[in-house]
Structure 1
Amino acid sequence: MDKTPKETALGQSKKAERFTSSGFILAAIGSSVGLGNMWKFPYITGLYGGAAFFLLFVVCLIIVGLPVLLAEMTIGRGGRGNAASSFYNLTGNKQWKWFGFMSVVTAFLIISYYGVVAGWTLQYTIDSVVGSLGQGTNFDQHFVDFAAGGWPVFWQLVVMIVCGVIVGKGISGGIEKFNKILIPGFLAILLVLMVRALTLPGAAAGVDFFLKPDFSVLTGESALIALGHAFFSLSLGMGCMLTYGSYVQKEQSLGKATVAIGVGDLGYALIAGLIIFPTIFSYGIEPQKGVGLAFMALPASFSQMPLGSLFGGLFFLLLAIAALTSAVSILEVPVAYAMHYWKWSRRKAAAIIAALSFALGVPAGLSVSGPLSDWTPFGKSIFDWFDFMTAYVLMPLGGLAVTLFTGYAWKRAGEEAGLTGFWYRAWMFCLRYVAPLLILAVLLYSIFVKPV
């Protein structure tokens, strides 16, 4: 299809917006290795079957996560636009643009409440280092008291300012440089904490729970949760990888990049499990703690550990880095959209979108245990509604649109992805038949069977 003047202008405007090959891999890994890996993955693994759930997650990552990841990056590089315009640029069909716009809305909603959780990690990092987190014994109440005050709003503001500044500096000078500094540091802290966790008395029980599967504990619910998290952990369905894909050089192999990102995502999840489960088993804490595993259960473990303030501080610093690298990629989605459709400069777009995200996220933060916590329309707090609508409705819908677009509507997807022969046929089979059905199953289950 011949390019329209609009597309040509878009391509020219993006010439300066390019990742280097290594920078793209690090930025994409930074996007996927967020709180989903370090906070959500351990607690759902504890709830839904330990090692058996982990293996199920790996299978789902391979058969659904990686094919959809490659599809998103392929659309982004082929369309050379934002999450909304790339669909239109490739087909000229305006209807697809609305599916892309849904991803922009999803990313905006996610960054609004994601900044709240990222702010929690900053406060807990400081509390651990100065020793105030380990002074009491009721860690559940510590979190409730903290979330009820004004500090969450302050730290949320700090997170959005940091993200706005980084995104405002551009791709190579901001996002790529940020990830090149933080991701290696992230890995170093991970390895230190893993060694410490594995050398604790009784750590072997935690390793067994995480790596020795008992398939009798798996249920149909476990399978759907694993599938949903494989999708969530790679930042799919919210436009992040599509937007990042638009900044990828033509010489970059998207197939190799997909494998590298998948291995990085899985590796970080594995190490996270080898930190958290040996630690909690060493101090007699049940792995089924749920969402409070990181902010309520782990502090209890660190309080009993020699040099617990140091290792607790390192752990929450790890969470903070993970949160920030993901938050930057999520913010880039609506920023790229605003730059194109409203012709804003990058700095103006980053500043305005970050400010709006902060304003929208304040009620979500105050609804956890603050003044808005008693307002629970249809049984959910504002924070829970943000999480439910994005993670369990909008993201699966966005991912479904990507699979159908790449599998049926766009005829040159294989050429852009660099796939031929068996690998192209396998990719198309996953996108046309396997992924849509499984994503639809997760969506229907989340909405009609067990809303969470």
Structure 2
Amino acid sequence: MATATDAKPHERSHEGPEEGSHEGWSSRSAFILAAIGSAVGLGNMWRFPAEAGANGGGAFVLFYIVCVILIGLPVLLSETLIGRHGQASGPYSVLRMARDSSASGNWQIVGLIGVVSSFLVLSFYCVVGGWVLYYIGIFAADLVHTGVAGGAFQGRGPATIETLLPELFGNGLLMVALDALFLGATLFFVARGVSKGIEFVATWIMPAFFVLIVAITIYGAVTGAFIEALAYLFTFEPSKLTGPVMLAALGQAFFSLSLGMAGMITYGSYVSKDVNLAGTSTIIASADTGVALLAGLCIFPIVFTAGLAPEAGPTLMFQSLPLAFQTMPAGSLVGFLFFIMVGFAALTSSVALLEVPTAWLMERFGLRRTIASVMLAAGALLLGVLSALSFNTLAGSYPLTFLPLFSEQGWFDLLDTLTSKLLMPIAAILTAVFVGWIAAPRIVDAEAGLTGGLYRFYRVLVRWVCPLALTAILLVGIFPSLIGG
């Protein structure tokens, strides 16, 4: 009579990897750095300052921190404990926990939605990563031309600097090439595996990122309007804490931690049983929040010194900052280092985005890591081409214009909307419901690393507060008119 261990690889793949066959982190610190790298990305460096600027500064920041503690951290811990218990990719970790809890195996849909979300986000995230590479090249060339001492782009007027991004958007071939280059760097590290690739990125690039962001923040404090930036970010005005601001802060807390994409489930599956998940999750959430705040303190002193508007929104990083660096001492060098720093943050996140579907594809079809990651990167590149060309050649082409949520959206915006407003919130809601109501309490208790009142508080948050708050994100994303949008 055949046993489970006698089954062929493709037969076992439906249940995930065998016990003890899964890769793992070499240490607790490696996991923490990798998880921080997964969470810290363009959401911190680009979206947080833009959202803070557009939503009144201090009121937004305060409520954002509250949301990280009450919603972001519980969901982060929930995803991580699912992965550690399941010791497999997102879908198979959820499946294993469901079966160990005598629940339906259909709950693996939570992980499957995360896998799809990660793949789709990767496809357009690398396009934005290509923009970062473009600005690294622009500032490197300017540094060679003007030297270290003066401001950036000497001899060029503001109008010329402001055309840098539109010129990139108008060059479809360059956009695709930069997308492919950034995706290629991501593939290189994921194909090398957990210890030789992903862990290398975490243990070397993340410390370099932290050194750069602290150094540039100090630079802004010395040469820029640091006191003004502090007042802007941390002065709480109750009148500015409106419904739309609170929902924006809640959304930022959710997206900043990269929840709903099975990333923390996948990374959690590589964690050994002796690691306290509650403590490490708190470190990860704190570091991610700290980076977001540092990004504000890094960017706003420079913006205020140049007399630019903090409400510039998404163009703050790619158009306002290059203008600001023109007025700053050593502007070319600081601009070059700034975009290197942003590139590091983007790379650590894109590595996590590719690892999520790679881990699943390896387990589902018994593929080697190299083959699985190359196949996924090729698919992401094809979608990335559509996203890149939606700014130029395919501008005005709206694939799903017959659906109100996607009307008049090109490929880039469509993929962004599909993931951020639908798939990710749905996956996060289901994660909270699964851990709070479906998974056996004995399993959650054993994995979470919480005791007494803290454990009871966590259970209340994950059962009630998180699902309700995440449902608000989902509903406002689908029906923006609910907040007057």
- Shorter chain as normaliser: what TM range? over 0.9
Q: Matches of 1:80 and 1:201 in 2, distance apart?
A: 48
- Identity of matched residues, %: 38
Corresponding position: 1:434 with 2:456: no
> Shift of residue 251 of structure 1?
0.7
What is the identity, as a one-letter code, of the residue corresponding to 1:429? V
What is the identity, as a one-letter code, of the residue corresponding to 1:265? D
Q: TM-score, normalised by structure 2?
A: 0.89
What is the identity, as a one-letter code, of the residue corresponding to 1:178? V
Match of 1:17 in 2: 24
> Shift of residue 201 of structure 1?
4.7
Quick one: structure 1 residues 167 and 450, their matched pair in 2 at CA, closer, same or farther if it must change by over 3 Å? farther
Deviations 1:195-243 (A, max 9, x none): 1111225332222111222221221011111111111111110010010
Q: Secondary structure at the match of 2:272?
A: coil
Corresponding position: 1:392 with 2:413: no
Match of 2:363 among 325, 328, 340: 340
Match of 1:119 in 2: 130
The answer to whether the 8 Å contact 2:119/2:354 transfers is: yes
Q: Matches of 1:422 and 1:415 in 2, distance apart?
A: 15
Q: Matches of 2:249 and 2:363 in 1, distance apart?
A: 36
With 311-320 and 138-147 compared, the bigger mean Cα shift is at 138-147
Q: Matches of 1:301 and 1:61 in 2, distance apart?
A: 31
Match of 2:434 among 391, 399, 405: 405
> Shift of residue 70 of structure 1?
0.2
> Shift of residue 391 of structure 1?
1.1
Match of 1:109 in 2: 120
Match of 1:372 in 2: 394
Q: Matches of 2:481 and 2:266 in 1, distance apart?
A: 32
Quick one: structure 1 residues 404 and 205, their matched pair in 2 at CA, closer, same or farther if it must change by over 3 Å? same
Corresponding position: 1:41 with 2:48: yes
Corresponding position: 1:128 with 2:139: yes
Instruction: Pick the structure with greater CA Rg.
Output: 2
Deviations 1:86-131 (A, max 9, x none): 1111123221112221111000000000000011101101101211
Match of 1:446 in 2: 477
Unaligned runs of 5+ in 1: none
Quick one: structure 1 residues 9 and 449, their matched pair in 2 at CA, closer, same or farther if it must change by over 3 Å? closer
> Shift of residue 352 of structure 1?
1.1
Alignment map for 1:340-359 (pairs within 5 Å): 340-359=363-382
> Shift of residue 8 of structure 1?
8.3
Match of 2:455 among 418, 421, 424: 424
Q: Matches of 1:274 and 1:9 in 2, distance apart?
A: 45
Q: Secondary structure at the match of 1:12?
A: coil
Q: Matches of 2:67 and 2:17 in 1, distance apart?
A: 39
Corresponding position: 1:97 with 2:126: no
The answer to whether the 8 Å contact 1:56/1:226 transfers is: yes
Corresponding position: 1:162 with 2:185: yes
Unaligned runs of 5+ in 2: 6-11, 146-151, 402-406
Q: TM-score, normalised by structure 1?
A: 0.96
> Shift of residue 178 of structure 1?
1.3
Q: Matches of 1:418 and 1:4 in 2, distance apart?
A: 32
The answer to whether the 8 Å contact 2:59/2:235 transfers is: yes
Q: Secondary structure at the match of 2:70?
A: helix
Q: Secondary structure at the match of 1:84?
A: helix
Alignment map for 1:141-220 (pairs within 5 Å): 141-149=163-171, 150-220=173-243
Deviations 1:35-82 (A, max 9, x none): 000000000000011011111100000000000000000000111111
Match of 1:298 in 2: 321
Match of 1:61 among 59, 68, 82: 68
Q: Matches of 1:9 and 1:312 in 2, distance apart?
A: 46
> Shift of residue 19 of structure 1?
4.3
Q: Matches of 2:239 and 2:17 in 1, distance apart?
A: 57
Deviations 1:158-202 (A, max 9, x none): 111111110111111110111111011101111111011112253
The answer to whether the 8 Å contact 1:19/1:249 transfers is: no
The answer to whether the 8 Å contact 1:43/1:287 transfers is: yes
The alignment's C-alpha RMSD in Å is 1.7
Q: Secondary structure at the match of 1:74?
A: helix
Match of 2:345 in 1: 322
The answer to whether the 8 Å contact 2:224/2:304 transfers is: no
Quick one: structure 1 residues 54 and 343, their matched pair in 2 at CA, closer, same or farther if it must change by over 3 Å? same
Match of 2:148 in 1: none
Quick one: structure 1 residues 383 and 450, their matched pair in 2 at CA, closer, same or farther if it must change by over 3 Å? farther
The answer to whether the 8 Å contact 1:165/1:350 transfers is: no
The answer to whether the 8 Å contact 2:50/2:310 transfers is: yes
